[in-house]
Amino acid sequence: MATAVSVRDLRKSFGGVRAVDGATWGARAGQITAVLGPNGAGKTTTIECLEGLQRPDAGTVEVLGVDPWGAGPQHRARVGVMLQEGGLPTTSRAVPLLRHLAALYAAPVEPDELVTRLGIDAFARTTVRRMSGGQRQRVALAAALLPRPDVLFLDEPTAGLDPHARLDVWDLVRSETARGACVVVTTHSFEEAERLADHVVILAAGTVVADGPLDQVRAGRTLEDVYFELTAQATR
Ligand SMILES: Nc1ncnc2c1ncn2[C@@H]1O[C@H](COP(=O)(O)OP(=O)(O)OP(=O)(O)O)[C@@H](O)[C@H]1O
């Protein structure tokens, strides 16, 4: 499968803080890549560079062969983004919002299909402002999936979701790779990474400390054991 996302010697600082300090990794089409790392390891900064929201200080990032910084609407339509905060308009209700967004894309998924698969119909009359955190997350995921993106960035997609909703989200994410999409998931959940990921990247203090297929990174151990061993120094 082709490389859809590539990060080469990426560096990004904020004042004196080196958020990303020379990281190189990639993610392939048709695969789920999980990016793990302690708080402050540089995961969100890296993903924001890949989404075109931050400009690298040095190194390069490419998504579908394009530099995302300043990329046009045609590129953006091929990339689905689910942010932690959701970024949804607070007075909207889910179904009209998703229908409105779908109308912006050339060949969107039928919104009602996502509404059913993510259990959004159960809170269809609730405005975004009154939704629970987990309900908002489901709507944000549906919004990211609407354009049938070739690349999907999911920032902690199941944090705070109940166990049924987590399974629904995992099923949906798997079906995205089955149609050939490249999915990059940041997570603090070893269970999520072990159940979902084909490929694992572990960041610590802005650098890559592991990068490879899940079984290769685990090398017969649990992901949790490997993670603690590789990130111990960075968190002291
Ligand atoms: N806009 C910003 N201004 C100043 N510092 C920032 C900014 N964004 C990130 N940082 C700093 O860069 C470092 C990396 O942050 P980042 O959000 O990328 O980490 P993360 O791995 O996503 O962490 P978490 O698991 O907590 O989400 C942190 O020290 C953070 O405080």
pLDDT digits (tens, 9 = 90+) for 146-193: 999 999 999 899 988 889 889 989 999 999 999 999 999 999 999 999
Domain-embedded: residue 167: yes
Of the candidates 127, 148, 169, which is a domain's last residue?
A: 148
Same-domain check for residues 70 and 172: yes
Among the listed ranges 15-24, 51-60, 80-89, which one has the minimum average pLDDT value?
Answer: 80-89
Same-domain check for residues 143 and 157: no
Same-domain check for residues 130 and 192: no
Domain-embedded: residue 11: yes
Domain-embedded: residue 84: no
User: What tens digit of pLDDT does each residue of 41-79 get?
Assistant: 999 999 999 999 999 999 999 999 999 998 998 898 899
Of the candidates 131, 148, 165, which is a domain's last residue?
A: 148
- If one counts the domains in the chain, the total is 2
Same-domain check for residues 50 and 35: yes
CA 40 to ligand 1 centroid distance, Å: 5
- Which ligand 1 atom lies nearest to the CA of residue 41? 21
CA 184 to ligand 1 centroid distance, Å: 18
Find the helix packing angle between 163-178 and 133-145, rounded to 10°. 10
56 lines ligand 1 (CB under 6 A): no
CA 123 to ligand 1 centroid distance, Å: 33
134 lines ligand 1 (CB under 6 A): no
What gap in Å lies between CA 223 and CA 221, rounded to an integer? 6
Cα dist from 115 to 26, 99, 104, 121, 143, whole Å = 32, 10, 18, 6, 10
What gap in Å lies between CA 101 and CA 40, rounded to an integer? 33
Same-domain check for residues 16 and 41: yes
Cα dist from 6 to 25, 61, 77, 109, 214, whole Å = 6, 6, 19, 27, 18
Same-domain check for residues 141 and 153: no
- CATH code of residue 46: 3.40.50.300
Same-domain check for residues 108 and 171: no
* Ramachandran quadrant class, 146 (left: phi over 0; alpha: psi -120 to 50; beta: rest): alpha
37 lines ligand 1 (CB under 6 A): yes
Classified as helix, coil or strand, 114 is helix
19 lines ligand 1 (CB under 6 A): yes
Whole-prediction pTM? 0.93
Of the candidates 111, 128, 148, which is a domain's last residue?
A: 148
Neighbouring-strand partners of residue 177: none
Domain-embedded: residue 48: yes
Q: Which domain holds residue 113?
A: 90-148
Same-domain check for residues 136 and 20: no
CB 108 within 8 A of CB 102: yes
CA 98 to ligand 1 centroid distance, Å: 30
Residue 205, pLDDT above cutoff 80: yes
Same-domain check for residues 136 and 174: no
Same-domain check for residues 117 and 206: no
Residue 7 is predicted with a pLDDT of 98
